[in-house]
Amino acid sequence: MKAAVVDTTTGDFVTQKHRIDTPRPATPDALADVARQLTEHFEWEGQVGVGFPGVIQRGIVRTAANLDDSWIDVDGDALFTEASQCDVHMINDADAAGLAEVRFGVGEGVSGVVIMLTLGTGIGSAVFFDGELVPNTEFGHLLMDGVIAEDRASSRAKEDQGLSWEEWGIALRDFLLEMDKLFWPELFMLGGGISKQFEHFAPFLEGVRAPIKPAERFNRAGIVGAALCRQPISPRD
């Protein structure tokens, strides 16, 4: 779990990023305690935005595919607010990363439908129309030949299955082709640590109609976007 103080007008970090290993099992109470430690580290008493790897509706966690099932239906906003004594609002992690890229990164100024995909332990997705977020899309759970997309095209899938750039790039291309066919976006933005190595897999993505750009802010986007979700003009879900 990582945090930084963010200037939401520029999308820049005001402090260094601070990181604490995610406790295992990643139960609500264990993560809430890390949230407390992170806010204490910065001596922070203001608003906090948290990017969470699951569906979040009005602060309630609805799914937690890669965490712990005990998260389901937990009021994440209330739990983290209580633990940290700061005013906390949760947002899906990919929605957060997408917000940062649309506001300050490769998606800035792009009108129409823009799709962010984060490639990490899972695949997160965020959809924007004219810069406005449609929250909680879960395209990483799309079934492709009976297999969940994130089990084939996440960076975890590449690592666990020992896939070459070509093998993994083709799996990602198939996923992008499916998304392209269903949504006809103006742009795909790719995030997650692996997007830093875009040149290794870009050659295998040919045939996808929409332009594909790696995120500019890489792993910073999640933190910046979580902070942006605290702005009044941003969606609350």
Q: Which residues bind ligand BGC (CB under 6 A)?
A: 53-55, 63, 65-66, 92-94, 118, 120, 122, 124, 138, 140, 150
Separation between Cα atoms, residue 48 and residue 90, nearest integer Å: 8
3-state secondary structure 32-67: HHHHHHHHHHCCCCCEEEEEECCCEECCEECCCCCC
Measured from the CB atom, is 83 or 149 closer to ligand BGC?
A: 149
Q: At 70, is the secondary structure helix, strand, or coil?
A: helix
Measured from the CB atom, is 88 or 149 closer to ligand BGC?
A: 149
Q: Are 191 and 118 in contact (CB under 8 A)?
A: yes
CB of 140 to ligand BGC, least distance (A): 5
CB of 46 to ligand BGC, least distance (A): 25
Phi-psi map region of 73: left, alpha, beta (phi>0 left; psi -120 to 50 alpha): left
Measured from the CB atom, is 81 or 118 closer to ligand BGC?
A: 118
CB of 232 to ligand BGC, least distance (A): 24
- Residue with smallest beta-carbon separation from ligand BGC: 122
Phi, psi dihedrals of residue 48, rounded to the nearest 5°: -130, 135
Query: Crossing angle of helices 93-104/220-228, nearest 10°?
Result: 90
Measured from the CB atom, is 54 or 185 closer to ligand BGC?
A: 54
CB of 128 to ligand BGC, least distance (A): 15
Measured from the CB atom, is 124 or 169 closer to ligand BGC?
A: 124
Q: What kind and span of H or E run contains 215?
A: none
Overall residue count recorded for the chain in this entry: 237
CB of 76 to ligand BGC, least distance (A): 13
